[in-house]
Structure 1
Amino acid sequence: FYTQFRLKPVGKHLVRVCHGTACHVSGAEKISEALRGSMGCGDGETTADGKFTVESVACLGCCSLAPVMMIDSETFGRLTPDSAATAVKEF
């Protein structure tokens, strides 16, 4: 509930990268690194154009699809660093 309160404006799209146990052991940090490189912003930050806000979350509940991220309400599973960066470009 409190994670929905924000003191700064967020981007048009919210990108949440799961860092739960299953995703962590399946390479979640590599997904986060790829997104930082392709988007130019770190965890909890918004891109310069205001289009995306990226955040790490504890679990998205899709452990069988690890590693997982969500963009808004759309779930992307079995990610690689390249497929994560490609998914963001579709928005």
Structure 2
Amino acid sequence: MSEIEIFLKREIGTDLGSRQKIETLFKNIDRDISKVIMNFEGIEFMGRSFAQEYLNRKHFASFEVVEKNMSEDIEKMFEIILKLNNKL
């Protein structure tokens, strides 16, 4: 089992708006991976649909997903989504 770090800025860009991009990213993670560190360094914007899809993918992933370098705005967006889904 192994661990990888994904730099979202490098893989997707500084604007996380497309639900499809996070869906594709999660689908392409090798299933032998046990832990994925999602590095949010340099991310300027994250849309609600991206955040919703990210949290759904994280919840059903066969590996542990942890976040790193999240801005306050990104943390707040995740909190809003979790509250709306009664998961906080």
- Given the two structures, how large is their TM-score scaled by the length of structure 1? 0.27
When normalised by structure 2's length, the TM-score is 0.28
Higher share in strand = 2
- Greater helix content: 2
